[in-house]
Structure 1
Amino acid sequence: MDRRLIPANERVAALHLKGKVEAEQYLKGAARQVTASEANLLRAPGGKRDRQLLMGERVTAYEDRAGYAFVQAARDGYVGYVDSLAIGPAQSMTHWIASRSTHIYSTANFKSPETGTLSFGCEVCARSQAENFVEIGDGQFLPLQHLLEIGEGLQDMVSVAEMFLGTPYLWGGNSGTGIDCSGLLQAACLACGIPCPRDSDQQEAQLGKELPKETPLERGDLVFWKGHVGLMLDGEILLHANAHHMVVAVEPLTEAISRISAKEFGDVTAVKRL
């Protein structure tokens, strides 16, 4: 009964939870979609951010009350509260952003004024294509070079994670403007078609096979601490979003283990290979 994954509060609960949790109403929920470029998924209305939702993400909404919708994200099952204005009716999306971020342009011309940005992983609906741009509605355009079609993935999760080098660390962040350790791993996995939960404890429990001690490490191996995770860039270098550097950074694994053991999350809890 992980509260992060149970769509229930004191007033409403998902219909399939009837008889398992107490609530005033049991509802099927309504299909909705994130319409903001990014939106915070909160533990309680106006409370702490657990993670972010990105444009195009599907959610099931169970309640809309006092400006907040109580939702469950389709991508990883995470439950929380989101600004009601950040979601809308669900629609079919055609493309997703496969670069760290991209600009939205007012015309199909890279010299035209930009009107906003979208992060890696956002999904959009392309209405038409003009040369190297796609129109996403309301006279807004995205460069085709930054897009892949829905269903088309990337091949190397470490290369995906490398795109985020230098991105500011943000607790609960999932975007190219701010990301945390488990958000980085999730973004890299999902882009390569690998199902991945959101938080590092869930990732440690569900991803890969644990390696015996003294196994030589390889590119893509995962190193876990209690509350932290990083990816191996090669046999010696760790890539991770971390609060010590306050960015996505690389450093020798031996140095990271020494520092983290002394000051932050204790000893390594697992090393795993997908």
Structure 2
Amino acid sequence: MTDRRLTPANGRVAAMHLAGQVDAERYLEGWPAMVAAPVVDLRAAPDGPRDRQLLLGAVVTVFEDLNGWSFVQGGDGYVGYVPSDRLATMMPPSHFVATAATHAYEEEDFKSPDLLGLPFGARVQVLDERRKFFETNVGFVPKSHLRALDRPFTDPATVAQLHFGVPYLWGGNSTRGIDCSGLIAAALQACAIPCPADSDMQQADLGAPFEGAFQRGDLLFWKGHVGMLVDDTTLIHANAHHMATAYEPVERAILRIEAQGDGPVVARKRL
């Protein structure tokens, strides 16, 4: 049985490699495009509920552009619909936002009008280097706020901790709002570690099971939830109990989550 979230097919169109596996009127390779807004909801259907989110500069494959909605597949394999006007022609990014947030300015001056607010992980193309700013495809961004794509972070827990206090948002993937699996994806992808989008996929694909004491970077899974250890006793996770990305003593979290009816830990994974 195919997973809708990862299957680029909607009955009208399907990816060429699915010919003979799923029914569609047309099979095609698709074409590349780039997300052109700071944060865009990836929806299960046009005007439907949010499944996940895509950030500025994310590369997608477009399979259909119909009635103002594009049917796309993101780099993590997740499939869905985004407004077509939130996509643009490919402009390969060179840097990503490496702070919780930043702004793109009209001029090389922090007093000039700000054009966009950018979340952590948004990707831009640097066009020129100035004294304190990079000129990018979306405006002037402080140099200290950007990091070259070929210089990823090396510690996922550090990235997770950068999201401390971010409000909880179901299906969220940014420092404007994030959920449990979005936090893990942001942490790993910033370290150039491939990571699927949802917690069930992450449990299946990430790391190896382990026993014994926890250590920094370990992942703890419940049914429908995931968190990361920042040390041997402390969990960081985006959760609806705190409605934020919060620290919690891991043993307390285990007891609380089971007591509230969400069951026991189902997997312990080490990256």
For this structure pair, what is the TM-score category when the shorter chain's length is used for normalisation?
A: over 0.9
Secondary structure at 2:150 match in 1: coil
Corresponding residue number in structure 1 for 2:120: 120
Provide the C-alpha distance between the structure 1 equivalents of 2:259 and 2:92, rounded to a whole number of angstroms: 49
Corresponding residue number in structure 2 for 1:153: 152
Unaligned runs of 5+ in 1: none
2:124–2:137 contact (8 Å) kept in structure 1: no
Provide the C-alpha distance between the structure 1 equivalents of 2:113 and 2:89, rounded to a whole number of angstroms: 29
Sequence identity percentage: 50
Residues 1:109 and 2:106 are matched in the alignment: no
TM-score, with normalisation over the residues of structure 1? 0.96
Residues 1:30 and 2:42 are matched in the alignment: no
Quick check: 200-209 or 101-110, which moved more? 101-110
Corresponding residue number in structure 1 for 2:207: 208
Provide the C-alpha distance between the structure 2 equivalents of 1:92 and 1:206, rounded to a whole number of angstroms: 28
Unaligned runs of 5+ in 2: none
- Cα offsets for 1:196-234 (capped at 9, x unmatched): 11100000011111113xx01111111000000000111
The 5 Å alignment of 1:53-132 reads 53-74=54-75, 76-132=76-132
Provide the C-alpha distance between the structure 2 equivalents of 1:9 and 1:152, rounded to a whole number of angstroms: 37
Provide the C-alpha distance between the structure 1 equivalents of 2:73 and 2:192, rounded to a whole number of angstroms: 21
Secondary structure at 1:127 match in 2: strand
The 5 Å alignment of 1:1-274 reads 1-74=2-75, 76-137=76-137, 140-212=139-211, 215-274=212-271
- Cα offsets for 1:14-48 (capped at 9, x unmatched): 11110000001111111111011110000011111
- Cα offsets for 1:234-258 (capped at 9, x unmatched): 1111100000000000011111111
Quick check: 101-110 or 193-202, which moved more? 101-110
RMSD of aligned residue pairs (Cα, Å) = 1.1
- Cα offsets for 1:162-188 (capped at 9, x unmatched): 000000001111111101110000110
Shift of the alpha carbon at 1:264?
Answer: 4.5
TM-score, with normalisation over the residues of structure 2? 0.97
Provide the C-alpha distance between the structure 1 equivalents of 2:225 and 2:155, rounded to a whole number of angstroms: 21
Shift of the alpha carbon at 1:136?
Answer: 1.7
Secondary structure at 1:260 match in 2: helix
